[in-house]
Structure 1
């Protein structure tokens, strides 16, 4: 912290950017840990895991799915894939919040410069930056959460094991053009669902930071001392709810594409094929599978993340 607590750090300085990133990374890890069991169940629903489809579609089903995981795998089962989550979330959240602060300062140096379009643009650009940096870790995390059967080698998948499985999962003899691409460029397998993620990130991050900036400007005076943790929690929760609703179909498509290496290891599942498969299976509601559970997860997660980020920024005198 600076010697003079009443003086904010220079927003253009490197140490300010790094501290903002550290605050964002810590905030993201805390928020993800709070909702990790819900995230595990939601991924199983979204990716249409055959062992858990009978539970999807209701709050009671989500509770029963959690009970099943706990009875078979214990508390560690509810946090399966969480180690990969934390490895991804710290740089993901750190880059996102650091980029948002920097882009926000460039586009909107004062509150008088703020517009809803610029708020949306700042959030969307920061979200895209974070995804590009950390996407392979996200794919590994989803694969770990999707796994529900024990193997002879280990009772639960490891992060390194998930990475190794992704790298080696395509057929050794190409059976399609996409498989041939995997053989030639194996690292592309870590980017299954990347296009859906990019498209979905624009409305999610953009809307989240749009709501965050708009609600803070509307209900919190410019004096930062009045921005209480409770206000940050409430505004963060509302922002997460609106953002989740606007981008959820893209998230379902992305999950199905990310686990495509398990269901169809020899080929790349594209947008059209994935959307058609979802629609034929469950119709339009199929694009919103797990949304109610998503609300239960995303509202506290976003609230905790944004409030913790703001609290740490105050601590760091940013």
Structure 2
């Protein structure tokens, strides 16, 4: 017989299954939008072969067609194994952390507020990025190189062994940073980490805020019929989850996109500026000088094509997986 008692969210059983549900959601969502992800990174990184495609949805489609004509399906899915290697732990930690933080900040429906929803999402995003950022850095460096196809582990080895030279961290122009990276090689994998964290706060916070707020207004409470109001509400279905997830992704992407552009340019700075290490402020000025405020939204249309279905699928699969796994 099914128990109406609330599950113990601090139990190992719940934490592990919550993480599996989140990791599965991330992998399915990323697989759905893998070709768009490939195109977006090439445009964001100002790859010379793809600058002409920036700025429109049709450009993204033409870029994808160009990649397909040159390298077939493999070209569109290049680096996807590295993506899955990163996204499973990232999504697992993010959703698992959100479940834990939500239970602490909002143990009852009455305690749910938009500020707490935003805080829970932002904190869970920061935690997941901290533990998986080296994988994201390696993936970005691998995908931003169009003419070469270095393996994930080859790129990771290069960053660790020869990062200051290959990836633009010249000790002659930044002696303090060069010395720091020499003393602590692991820090080479956290290049651009600060701007990533700054961008993660509005992205994850806004995504979970929108998700939680819309569900509280439009989805029927599942634990007790006494909590239901006369307001028109709907049952929690895959279509409802997909719809709310899509809106959440749209809002979050709009708010956080400039941070994503700066982060990507910093991460792959060694590709476009192999002689030096681009700092955050310098990267911002460089983008502004070349394109003005529009430079911070390069590829946003592709971002919508990517983020909206990805977030929709991610949230929907997360909810479905939790039901299947009994959490």
TM-score over 0.5 (shorter chain): yes
Residues 64-79 of structure 1 mapped to structure 2, 5 A cutoff: 64-79=62-77
Relative to the length of structure 2, the TM-score reads 0.91
**Other-structure match for 2:164:** 170
Q: Distance in 1 between matches of 2:6 and 2:180?
A: 51
What SS is found at the alignment partner of 1:75?
helix
How far has the Cα of 1:174 moved from its partner? Answer: 3.0
- What is the total number of aligned residue pairs between the two structures? 311
Unmatched 5+ stretches in structure 2: 224-233
**Other-structure match for 2:289:** 280
Q: Distance in 1 between matches of 2:73 and 2:5?
A: 46
Residue 37 (structure 1) aligned to one of 35, 38, 63: 35
Q: Distance in 2 between matches of 1:267 and 1:5?
A: 61
1:37/1:66 contact within 8 Å kept? yes
**Other-structure match for 1:136:** 134
Residue 312 (structure 1) aligned to one of 302, 321, 326: 321
Relative to the length of structure 1, the TM-score reads 0.94
Q: Say if 1:105 and 1:99 are closer, same or farther in 2 by CA, change over 3 A.
A: same
Q: Distance in 2 between matches of 1:74 and 1:161?
A: 23
Structure 1 residue ranges, 4+ long, deviating more than 6 angstroms after superposition: none
How far has the Cα of 1:74 moved from its partner? Answer: 1.6
Residue 83 (structure 1) aligned to one of 59, 81, 84: 81
Q: Distance in 1 between matches of 2:114 and 2:4?
A: 30
1:120/1:210 contact within 8 Å kept? yes
What SS is found at the alignment partner of 1:57?
coil
Give the aligned CA root-mean-square deviation in angstroms. Answer: 1.7
1:88/1:138 contact within 8 Å kept? yes
Residues 1-318 of structure 1 mapped to structure 2, 5 A cutoff: 4=2, 8-150=6-148, 156-167=149-160, 168-171=162-165, 174-176=171-173, 177=175, 178-223=177-222, 226-265=235-274, 267-318=276-327
Unmatched 5+ stretches in structure 1: 151-155
